[in-house]
Structure 1
């Protein structure tokens, strides 16, 4: 699970090195799509396929699907590291093999929680699933640091790192894992699978294109294709719901949502994922575009240091997750999940109140609280969800849980990024034009640069490139200015000071929305009640311990 989720974030920090390695300018016309698909493609595939692959695991064997996932993931990692092409063709090679890699990752994600639920008795399940869940969540943030370190050496190492782990994991899984679940023959629900994959896929693809510029608009939400995709995706999900109530052996039994613990747990997971998913993007842009340059770091070095400065977030996950999972086995899940979400939401309020040039100790404390709150919630919530369904449907239930989590992350990126861009679009153009003209940039060039979509400015900071060079480089005007003005414009202070006001306005909107989502998730979690762990009789404990040992 750690390996699968590391790869959802490891390329984020590695993007500058990857684009340099394949000789592609991400800011040239039409190339923003490559950048977004490199990030979003993996998330989209895992979100769409986990339910189908989880249900398939119920039918053909969860261990069999999990082991195959290791093989596919490792083979794709090898192919990614040997990209033979450059330019747009090289980018397409990486995107397509990232999709294959995501297929393997989805097999792992869909079946790992179900395998652990089969193997561990109820009084140990929270600890086991807690370790699994925190491995997944911490992987998202460790990937940021790992990507920065490896890409500084060689961009291909970002994909090489998976190969030895994948080979070892494949051999270990085939030698050691045994099928504990009773396989139940069933027909594959083709129409349900097609409707669900099509509906989720259309929605998430539309979100990916919605955050790109369209015509003269700063974003693509008014594009007919985006609107058609959103409407069509929603319609297909309605069709999926109808199909699942009509077929004798559905892909997913919607009747499971009548179980309050299952329904409330998944609702809380979706809302928490929306609050958390876009957080790393906002924090990275904040650090790379403003805070780190103002503290003397070169733009080219900011991707690596952003990952390092976000380590307290990962530490919070690692400290609270397994401990909360183990304690919830004894004391129940509601207080841990609800309390964790309250702490999680409170950290967003704290981030909202921070000044744009914050003292690092306050920032580190708040993101550690964010990680601790997320860890307190995630492990017991996963245990409660998986313990609330019949054994025969654990694969599909695990897939649905992963779908809510992964879809929430993708949806969060679309929602938060759009909110940020809206905030920048209202305030940045005037501020940017005035700042450029004050440094001698001709009025026409300054006006043109200020009228460019804010998304290009944000991605410049995101990729560790000086945004002023991105804005003025194509015009050639930068080299015609006096040396003093050039030094000011390309220095570490000009752009961060210029953008800090508009960016902070956008951040307030984003963090306020995340806090509201967290509190809604806490409410959903509290409504589940407080189910006590099932107490096994001595014989049951021995059987459970034997199963776990096997």
Structure 2
């Protein structure tokens, strides 16, 4: 397909909308959790799994999905992912109990794992290199903001309709996008590699063990048999995953990629950014409702300063990355997010005013907008063209793993220091959790700062 303006615009629209839908469902459910808890039952750890079931399957299957697209055709596999996501959304909307909902969310994550990396590689193939930074900026403005927009969209839908419609709304969008993608996107393939099923199983078991162990730790105790078994089993599975990836001829994640310090720095920063942002959003949306008494829509509206700012900052950051390089823009974005969570931890009280919370929301939103587009820009320039599919999958998986770990870790800190018994107990747990999130963001700044500037420049102009 030629790189005409119409084809480029169509590719941006299709891939951006699909990525927005997949990204939105990361946290679209969080403002509905109090309502879901009443209707379907479930303790805090069950509510965590309505988020983590999605982000975990999303994360661990992304690299396999990218490799599958490389082998069988990215457009065909992308459409299959859209249909899986759509069907699972309908199943979630029909959930009669919390267990059903968690299972449907896990299948939704499978579809999202296909959509996200392939949308990026399909877009990259459709856009000429000289315009790639701006196109990725638009894509990032749509897909990057989707996770943060989740609380607003979820709150609005729950308030005006019901929590079931959070998922029903995906169905017509998915059914429309599937045929449009078949018609409007050019197909592409990567190396005809063998699928690494063993590697996928090992990394899936490893991450499930770690996340389950963290969730179990603040429910059953950190010295309980369940917690220790899951944490130990998770670590062992990840060690075996690394051992296997070094020895198999066709690894799902070529470890040689991490010899590239730019690639490694991007992924470490993405992981830590996911820990801080997603864990904080999970807790803060509940703080606004359970402590400050806002209904779901009011809570979502009050987070609009966080969710709207990336829409402005992300396209601008893509153009800045084209002109000045992605590294400094990413660093500024990470610093702003660190300051946002640190500031929030300082001012948080049960009766803190919205005006006092607003600077944190604005800083966090601007920081997210300055992060997503340059990260995608540097990532695509840091690897060979035939490695872009697996690199996109690895980076998106890293962010999702950070989100999964962040929700589990910050919820564990929250439960260890506080609880749901009273507004003050909630804040007693929320404050140290926010400091942990800010610490993760500060480490992300360090990771990105340690990436050699000369290497990033060379990759971006290559």
Q: Which of residues 365, 373, 384 in structure 2 aligns to 1:371?
A: 365
Q: Which of residues 323, 333, 338 in structure 2 aligns to 1:340?
A: 333
Equivalent runs, 1:428-507 vs 2, <5 Å: 454=419, 457=420, 495-496=422-423, 499=424, 502-507=425-430
Q: Is the 8 A contact 1:122 1:387 kept in 2?
A: no
Determine the structure 1 residue equivalent to 2:12.
none
- The reply to whether residue 129 of structure 1 matches residue 130 of structure 2 is no
Cα separation, 2, equivalents of 1:339 and 1:19: 38
C-alpha displacement of 1:319: 1.5
Deviation track 1:81-128 (CA, whole Å, cap 9, x = no partner) reads: 344xx4xxx333322222222111110012122222223334332322
Determine the structure 2 residue equivalent to 1:271.
272
Q: Which of residues 439, 449, 459 in structure 2 aligns to 1:526?
A: 449
Deviation track 1:113-162 (CA, whole Å, cap 9, x = no partner) reads: 22222233343323222333332332223221222222232332222111
Cα separation, 1, equivalents of 2:244 and 2:376: 27
Equivalent runs, 1:76-91 vs 2, <5 Å: 76-83=88-95, 86=96, 90-91=97-98
- The reply to whether residue 165 of structure 1 matches residue 173 of structure 2 is yes
Q: Is the 8 A contact 1:58 1:393 kept in 2?
A: no
Distance 1:74 1:355, change over 3 A: closer
| Equivalent position SS for 1:244 | helix
Rg: which structure is higher?
1
Distance 1:409 1:349, change over 3 A: same
Distance 1:69 1:280, change over 3 A: same
Distance 1:505 1:16, change over 3 A: closer
Determine the structure 1 residue equivalent to 2:109.
102
C-alpha displacement of 1:221: 2.5
Equivalent runs, 1:131-280 vs 2, <5 Å: 131-152=138-159, 153-181=161-189, 183-211=190-218, 213-214=219-220, 220-280=221-281
Determine the structure 1 residue equivalent to 2:40.
24
Cα separation, 2, equivalents of 1:366 and 1:101: 31
Give aligned pairs, total: 439
Single out whichever of 199-208 and 265-274 deviates more from structure 2.
199-208
TM-score (norm 2): 0.89
Computed over aligned residues only, the root mean square deviation of the Cα atoms, in angstroms, reads 2.2
Q: Is the 8 A contact 2:63 2:390 kept in 1?
A: yes
Determine the structure 1 residue equivalent to 2:76.
64
C-alpha displacement of 1:258: 0.8
Cα separation, 2, equivalents of 1:305 and 1:370: 19
Q: Is the 8 A contact 2:202 2:241 kept in 1?
A: yes
Listed as ranges, the gaps of 5+ residues in structure 1 are 215-219, 425-453, 458-466, 468-494, 537-550
Determine the structure 1 residue equivalent to 2:9.
none
Single out whichever of 114-123 and 518-527 deviates more from structure 2.
114-123
Determine the structure 2 residue equivalent to 1:393.
387
C-alpha displacement of 1:80: 2.9
Single out whichever of 111-120 and 61-70 deviates more from structure 2.
111-120
Cα separation, 2, equivalents of 1:130 and 1:51: 23
Q: Is the 8 A contact 2:194 2:250 kept in 1?
A: yes
TM-score (norm 1): 0.75
